[in-house]
Structure 1
Amino acid sequence: MMMKKILMCFCTLLLASVVLMESQAQVFDREYTITRDYVYFRGQPLRDANPRYFQNLGHGYGKDNRHVFLFGQILEYVDPSTFRLVTQRRPYGPDPAQDLVDDDIDEDTYNVYYGGNFTQGGYVQMNNTVLYHGRKLEGASAQSFRYLGKGYAKDDWNVYFEGKKIKGASTMNFSLVGGFYATDNWAVYYRGRKVEGASTMNFTYHGGGYAEDSWNTYFQGQKL
């Protein structure tokens, strides 16, 4: 009888430990935040992290093109190009509550995390001017200004991504393809940057940051 009670107590403690570890893992999955300029862990900037290539791997892990991080700390002598997180848990889908940088977050979620809670990605169109995050968007035409989604906008003369002009982009037929990819008549753009070598011919977005044209496949704007 005593052995049975001990076994039951052990099983209860084991279950509680598993639940605690699971909840902690879920918390860590949400604690990396990536903006255009910085990567943050629990609100603290990671100055050695590259936001352009950073990936939140879950369970407190993240990596960019140079380093692998665990709970915001660099793991020395670990190669990010070969590092993979192996887990029996099912991978997360495009859940913005767990991965704020997922390319497939919807427009409402983008507005919350990147648009400063403005309804059009941070842009506010007035009668005679356009604001981005409360600052005047120099040179923008209020009369022809149009928000396209995921931080992209255009007027009759310029195309913008998150309040900055996209150099060389044509307003003619400029449109959002999917995720953070957009195209005009001649080029493909990812987060406002031209995707070098990408063709607009048959350019298709497949989700999760992946896209392809008639010749190549791309992940988050980089050719694979």
Structure 2
Amino acid sequence: MNVENVRSRTRAAEIARRIEDEVIADGWRVGAALGSETAFMERFEVGRSVVREAFRILESRHVAKPRRGPGGGLVVTAPERSAVLDQASLFLEYDGFAADDLFQMMEILEVSAVEQVSAIIDADGLTRMREILAAEVNVGDLRFEPVTVYTELARLSGNPVLSLFIHIGTNLARTHGVRPSEGELQWIHQHSVELVEALEAGDTLAAVRSVRRRLRGMSRRQSVSSHRIPSTSSTGES
């Protein structure tokens, strides 16, 4: 790549970062029009190729994408959580992570979620948790369920940072998990029932104990099958 191309790509990256900062400062208004290619060329005093490269960067980062046709231009888009989860998981795969790292992180996160949800959960939240429990009975492999008692716990916390990292941990566990046996499915379901009943009773300590027993049971199971990282749907505790 010649020097001119390097300069153009560097300039495009700078422009993309400026636009991204403005989208964030403006409250990330999905669907908002940011301007045409020509407008950005004039604003940043660059050629069309640089602006188009900046647009490609923004689209790859799920910040904005070009809209074709009359009145077209750059439009703000909503980031896809699945893309974030995939990228975070891939990085951790590359960087190398141990089962203990995963279980320790999940315990900290889920306990924090339990403590937050216990203080704020209402009748609608409890109803939703009960619905998930009822659906769980008919699930053959919880690793591939998009919604579980624990992902719902993350959502109900109202903490987007906590929710994101619980989903990242769950995503990693699903990737490496092994299919639970019938006995393990029953054990998992019982812990889910205990968690929901504890939240319904306002017993935060019991809810925390249920989460810890489940995750520590998984950790012990991992020590037996050290060549694989078990799913968050697996356990070794009775």
TM-score normalised by structure 2 residue count = 0.24
Q: Normalized per residue, which structure has more helix?
A: 2
| Higher normalized contact order (CA 8 Å, seq sep 6+, divided by chain length) | 2
TM-score normalised by structure 1 residue count = 0.25
Which structure is larger by alpha-carbon Rg, 1 or 2?
A: 2
Q: Normalized per residue, which structure has more strand?
A: 1
